[in-house]
A and B are shown apart, each in its own frame.
Chain A
């Protein structure tokens, strides 16, 4: 039986066989003999999650636009499928051609979230690829990109290359270099050395790490004679209008998380919220021109048949001509019955009128993220939102017929006190009052306020990289405090989670190379899909750390001194460490930093050619 038949023989025994089926509309098929390089792209989570991810769509398109390469998709098989594959000797395969991943030249992996790391090891193992780089003599080179590549050290033993920053060009360069290397006949290590010259590519095997007696990093330095740069600067594309964007998207058969056209209207964010890693590492802000976006949307609507376009970015309300763009899109696509999903916070009155005329406005819950309960703490995190702003937004929304509000907060932010936590309940109460301030005949019935409080995870490359994560006992106590306070506000639904998952996330977010062993241990003990709370096994993680002699508190809850060398200091995310430190100081003084659209704040991005002009 062919591999394809053996795979299909499992389909009647697994949940959601469409996850593994392939053959979707717009999936790219090529003939293996027509291409020089076969590229497998792994999203280390389920099909439904991975297929909703914009970055993967962009790179799939960019690679497949070349005649000499073929990019095919791989997702983490759910545990039922993985078990069956092992039992039936079926290796991890790509969806397009159902070829074993081991036979590819390059294996790209996107790192969206620390809690997907065990899934990467699981995928390598299912593929029959030795986990550790040093044990591999053939098979694909493993290249990881995405936000977690800015502190990739816990994955160092398993990965050949890390790709920092914008992926569109550097990914293609790794393919060009692969062709050169292949033609050269040089040994495997030579490819890694050749890639060290590509802007944005970090080759971990070319660096030595030394440690201080207290366990902190002393230095990360290029190996003598390796030719690797002391600092790896991220890849940055100054003008997104010049960068390729998919004109087709794969249309899945089953339902996925975000089943619609995603239009990236800009990359980067200028707000400078101090907890937000994305706001730092994706700088600078680069907008796509409106004519370009209209053209992209038109092509995608006709090539996919989707009836919804979502305007994507880190903060779509900040797009400089959002009302014009939204109006133009709504008018253009009304006849085709295509809805435009807009950032709800920024719906001005004129725009709402346009929407009313042309399409039904779905009044789903208004979502706001004040993040902290008091003005003091919002200033600490530089969330440039005042209570007045919030009250105006919710009052407008209630006045326009919304009756459901979701409020997102974080617990455990640096300098947080019980008073800040109780401020969340005050805010919920004030939102309630806003609703009742609208005359009964004008407001929609059935007020619903949802308060969600996640646990703050300090991340690398943010001003809070020096901060300890709040210990779990205090988090739990404050969750209960808030729960009690919110129980006195009528109509509020409070959502929160056990802090243990965030604790493990915090360990890896600021981890170093020594964590690789614990990661492997945890995977061997059965950890996978750790981001799925029903699969997460906290006790197993603690056991894995213990077995490796690692104290997770060292990584999660330890306060860092200002002169500490971090495991990611040799990787430049665009924003300088010096700037982050000044932001950390300002945070402790509860001092705000302006949105840099209103004037440069000197974050360091100007060191990059073409940035911020």
Chain B
């Protein structure tokens, strides 16, 4: 049996790296007192996996961790135990019990929704329609292996202006990924300005059901 837990990352903790967060959860699951399943092998560790890494400096209300239990447990007890083991800046938002055959969250993620709050973003916002009207927008993505030019337009599923910035739905798969900071850079380049000060917040991780309908990860 596994527990699928959605939690938030509040502003105060947005500078914890993904690696540090993983280490943090190793100890946090010990604190829950739940019957956690441990891996076999030379260096046993609690069996758990994350939905998708969040970049340093971003906040979220849709981080997902999948923890394997060695014995069946009720949802309510799991939720209470995990809540008590996490600091208030990593709030537990939703818990679902799944069976062992359920795919790993990482394998289900297709897209992610973000809220981008801008400070002095008028020039960027003025480019939204132009961006949407184009078939192709080339941008330079920096990766570990160097810089690569990619067409980001098809990777942006949805983009619209909000009261204080942007809402966007971006592809997030192993093959096709667009991060909101790169989108912001592309819009800034189109406007001929430096990227404005921005706060990036993940609203949801999304996957697709058997009929191809887009749904939040926790609902799949």
Q: Which of B27, B38, B44 contacts A304 (CB 8 A)?
A: B27
Known: A12-B57, A23-B13, A24-B87. A254 touches B30 (CB 8 A): no
Known: A11-B57, A12-B57, A305-B85. A21 touches B27 (CB 8 A): no
Tell me if B28 and A305 are in contact (CB < 8 A).
yes
Give me 7 other A-B pairs in contact (C-beta within 8 A), A12-B57, A306-B30 excluded: A11-B57, A12-B56, A18-B16, A21-B12, A21-B16, A23-B89, A307-B27
A251 vs B29: C-alpha distance when bound (angstroms): 13
A36, chain B: closest CB distance, angstroms = 25
Tell me if A23 and B24 are in contact (CB < 8 A).
no
Nearest CB in chain A to that of B87: its residue: A25
Residues B78-92 near A (CB distance < 8 A): 85-87, 89
A25 vs B31: C-alpha distance when bound (angstroms): 11
* Interface size class, chain B: 20 to 34
Q: When A and B form their complex, which 9 residue pairs have the shortest distance between CB atoms, in order from nearest?
A: A305-B30, A305-B27, A305-B31, A17-B15, A23-B12, A253-B20, A253-B16, A25-B87, A11-B15
A76 vs B15: C-alpha distance when bound (angstroms): 19
Known: A18-B20, A21-B12, A21-B16. A302 touches B89 (CB 8 A): no
Contacts of A307 in B (CB 8 A): 26-27, 30
Nearest CB in chain A to that of B11: its residue: A8
Nearest CB in chain B to that of A5: its residue: B11
A336 vs B85: C-alpha distance when bound (angstroms): 16
Q: Which of B20, B29, B33 contacts A254 (CB 8 A)?
A: B20
Q: Is B144 an interface residue (CB 8 A)?
A: no
Q: Is A22 an interface residue (CB 8 A)?
A: yes
Nearest CB in chain A to that of B25: its residue: A305
Q: Is B21 an interface residue (CB 8 A)?
A: yes
A481, chain B: closest CB distance, angstroms = 43
Residues A332-365 near B (CB distance < 8 A): 336-337
Residues of B within 8 A of A (CB): 11-13, 15-17, 20-21, 23-24, 26-31, 33, 38, 44, 56-57, 85-87, 89
Q: Is A255 an interface residue (CB 8 A)?
A: yes
Listed by A's residue number, 23 A-B pairs whose Cβ atoms lie within 8 Å are A11-B15, A18-B17, A21-B15, A21-B16, A24-B87, A25-B28, A251-B24, A253-B13, A253-B16, A253-B21, A253-B23, A254-B20, A255-B20, A304-B27, A305-B26, A305-B27, A305-B28, A305-B29, A305-B30, A305-B31, A305-B85, A306-B27, A307-B26
Tell me if A303 and B31 are in contact (CB < 8 A).
yes
User: In the complex, which of the residues B27, B29, B33 has the most CB atoms of chain A within 10 Å of its own CB atom?
Assistant: B27
Nearest CB in chain A to that of B27: its residue: A305
Q: Which of B16, B23, B28, B87 contacts A255 (CB 8 A)?
A: B23
Tell me if B44 and A337 are in contact (CB < 8 A).
yes
A253 vs B56: C-alpha distance when bound (angstroms): 13
Contacts of A22 in B (CB 8 A): 12
Contacts of A23 in B (CB 8 A): 12-13, 87, 89
Nearest CB in chain A to that of B28: its residue: A305
Task: Encode A283-316 as 1/0 by CB contact (under 8 A) with B.
Answer: 0000000000000000001111111000000000
B142, chain A: closest CB distance, angstroms = 16
Contacts of B11 in A (CB 8 A): 8
Contacts of A11 in B (CB 8 A): 15, 57
Contacts of A254 in B (CB 8 A): 16-17, 20
Contacts of A18 in B (CB 8 A): 15-17, 20
A53 vs B102: C-alpha distance when bound (angstroms): 44
A25 vs B25: C-alpha distance when bound (angstroms): 11
Nearest CB in chain A to that of B86: its residue: A25
Tell me if B15 and A304 are in contact (CB < 8 A).
no
Contacts of B12 in A (CB 8 A): 21-23
Task: Encode A1-35 as 1/0 by CB contact (under 8 A) with B.
Answer: 00000001001100001100111110100000000
Nearest CB in chain A to that of B21: its residue: A253
A24 vs B38: C-alpha distance when bound (angstroms): 25
Contacts of B38 in A (CB 8 A): 337
